[in-house]
Amino acid sequence: MTNQSKNQIIWGIRILVSALFILSALAKLYPVPTLGIGAFETKYLGAVGIEYDTARILSRLLIGFEFSLAILLLLPFYLRKLIIPATIGLLSVFTIHLAVQAINGDASNCGCFGELIPMTPLQALIKNILTIGLLLIPITFLKDYCDDKKKFSPIIITVLASILSMFIFLIPSNASGFEAEAETKNTRLYNSIQKKKILCFFDPSCEHCMEAGKEIIQLKKANKNFPEVKILFMDAFVNGMREEIDGFFEFIGEELDYQLLSIEEFNPIFWDKYQFPGILYMYEGEERIFFEATGNPFDSKRLMEEINKDK
């Protein structure tokens, strides 16, 4: 193999991996940046237990870092000693997480390419392993042909510029969190003459929300005077989610009254402060008990105890 061929192989790997990182970053901003990044924060970072305020910062850091690596892989500075090893390290962290998901049988969209290109954890795991394998070639077999010029300033400038641009052009929302008492009196969200009401905050594609919804239906069937239930769905996919909503009601076994809210509408009410699923029981407009994933997980027994107190 000639030296020119070896250089071409290295450049081909650098361009291919750089393109993957650019695609990954842009996909998280699909279909429009504010909605795309909101869905990424909600469906994927929130799903692993990251609080909303932290998710808003982490999402921008991650996307900015992906852009940084995509640019730095095409520059000749510290490729062998820093940039490629850092890229392999980042991919390795994600690979471990994906492996755990795949072993647990998770077949949902992992979010690597947002909603633009849905991938299961297993598919993403294979993609990451192949990418890591490609990146090992320039720093092992062809290390003598891999650029490694010693100049830190372009690296620092690229990383800072990429990350800062995410915070400048995608300013995190400062919307306030969900105020339960005020929300219970909001007749736009729940207009009913019944004294007892249950307001559910769900994402129709969230498995935990589906399980909670199924429990509520079982309670409803078992208790003749069960409160009226209304669901507030978050439109995480920005597409109306008709199929997801149909699938949600098919899973829980009954169609309930619901309202579909965009991420911008939903965040100030719930997701800005809490995580799915959220279930609020009200009596005569006053909050009795509020369940949400991180602070007070849903407990059907406790819900019925509160309901039975109000005769």
pLDDT of residue 263: 75
pLDDT of residue 176: 36
pLDDT of residue 248: 94
Q: Residue 238 pLDDT more than 60?
A: no
- Range name among 8-22, 135-149, 192-206 with the lowest pLDDT average: 192-206
pLDDT bin (cut points 50, 70, 90) of residue 186 is very low
Q: What is the mean pLDDT of the chain?
A: 86
pLDDT of residue 184: 38
Extents of the domains making up the chain: 3-169, 180-309
Bigger pLDDT: 238 or 166?
166
pLDDT of residue 256: 92
Q: Residue 74 pLDDT more than 70?
A: yes
pLDDT of residue 191: 55
pLDDT of residue 192: 54
d(CA 288, CA 165): 44
3-state DSSP of 130-194: HHHHHHHHHHCCCHHHCCCECCCHHHHHHHHHHHHHHHHHCCCCCCCCCCHHHHHCCCCCCCCCC
Omega of the bond leading into 277 within 30 degrees of 0 (cis): yes
pLDDT tens across 262-310, in order?
877 787 778 667 788 999 998 887 889 999 887 788 999 999 999 998 8
pLDDT of residue 107: 86
Q: Residue 170 pLDDT more than 80?
A: no
* Token couple for 96: 């471990």
Helix (H) or strand (E) holding 280: strand 278-283
Residue 78, phi then psi, degrees to nearest 5: 50, 35
- Within 10 angstroms of residue 164's Cβ, the number of other Cβ atoms is 12
pLDDT bin (cut points 50, 70, 90) of residue 183 is very low
Q: What pTM, to 2 d.p., does this model score?
A: 0.64
Q: What is the mean pLDDT of residues 73-84?
A: 95
pLDDT of residue 240: 64
pLDDT bin (cut points 50, 70, 90) of residue 237 is low
d(CA 278, CA 201): 5
The CATH number of 180-309 is: 3.40.30.10
Q: Residue-wise over 125-153: b if at least 16 C-beta within 10 A, else e?
A: bebbeebbebbebbbeebeebbbbeeeee
pLDDT of residue 108: 82
pLDDT of residue 137: 96
Bigger pLDDT: 239 or 206?
206
